[in-house]
Amino acid sequence: MVGGTSAIIDLALREDIGHRDVTTHLLVNKEARGTARMRAKETFVLAGSEIVSQVFVRLGGDVKTTLFYEDGAEVHAGDAIAELKGSLRVLLGGERTALNFLQRLSGVATETRRIVKKVEGYPVRILDTRKTTPGWRALEKEAVRIGGGYNHRWGLYDGILIKDNHIGVAGGIVRAVERARLNAPLLAKIEVEVSTLREVEEALRAGADVIMLDNMSITDMKKAVDFINKRALVEASGGITFENVEAIARTGVDFVSMGALTTASRAVDITMEVERYLE
């Protein structure tokens, strides 16, 4: 499980339960114990399964969680994903929070897997972006990896990416790259965002290690890849969808980054049902 998850789980539980689960406390005895199962209601790629048990641990219950699938597995409608045994109050109190994590992260992994399969056979890697749910970045980026994608930079601190506003402030692509190179760690790669073929030439002349083709037409992407001719790595970004990703991969780019992996993925359908309980 990724670092910092406990704090995210605690926040989610606080906003859902507040000071207590009123309905459950009125209807369920403190000593009651039960068994529940989480089941898939559709086909999807599982992600976030380890968080399920941690939700109930954070609630302080002695809930035993048995997982029937590992992250990355494809599950189908009717499949039991997990069995949970323990305090019935804890099971009911943590149900929605556990499902929220599991449904959301499995949705990201499923969409990523769908995109990755679309470009199988092409020498291209599918990357995520920083367009993640606030506070959930580590979780969503892990879900992307589970789905077969790769992580772009994690934040503003671990990669040099010179974008249009940086270029404007620095006074042009060449000056921006020169200034970055002067102060950057020796082995750090410098990536430059461009949107025209003229800017591609300028970025290559400036010595960019990676050139990001932002919102370019597929025709211009192909021209840019041919012009760069492996003198820099090439990333395609902006306006990329399931429908056009294969055509973009066909241009010869090295990477395709897609914010849609995390912003447009749909939470999958999972249910949790109490199957047995003892008062």
Q: Could you confirm whether 214 is annotated as catalytic?
A: yes
> What letter represents residue 229's amino acid?
N
Q: CA torsion sign, 259 to 261 to 267 to 272?
A: negative
Q: Which of 191, 193, 202, 235 is catalytic?
A: 193
Backbone angles phi, psi at 89, to 5 degrees: -60, -40
Q: Could you confirm whether 163 is annotated as catalytic?
A: yes
**Cβ atoms of residues 224 and 232 within 8 Å:** no
Backbone angles phi, psi at 54, to 5 degrees: -65, -30
Q: Which of 131, 153, 179, 250 is catalytic?
A: 131
Q: Could you confirm whether 222 is annotated as catalytic?
A: no
Strand partners, 82: 38, 67
Integer Cα distance of 277 and 279 in angstroms: 7
Q: Which of 96, 130, 179, 250 is catalytic?
A: 96
Dihedral, CA atoms, 140, 146, 148, 150, nearest 10 degrees? Answer: 40
Q: Which of 39, 145, 163, 222 is catalytic?
A: 163
Q: Could you confirm whether 254 is annotated as catalytic?
A: no
Q: Could you confirm whether 37 is annotated as catalytic?
A: no
**Catalytic sites, residue numbers:** 96, 131, 163, 193, 214
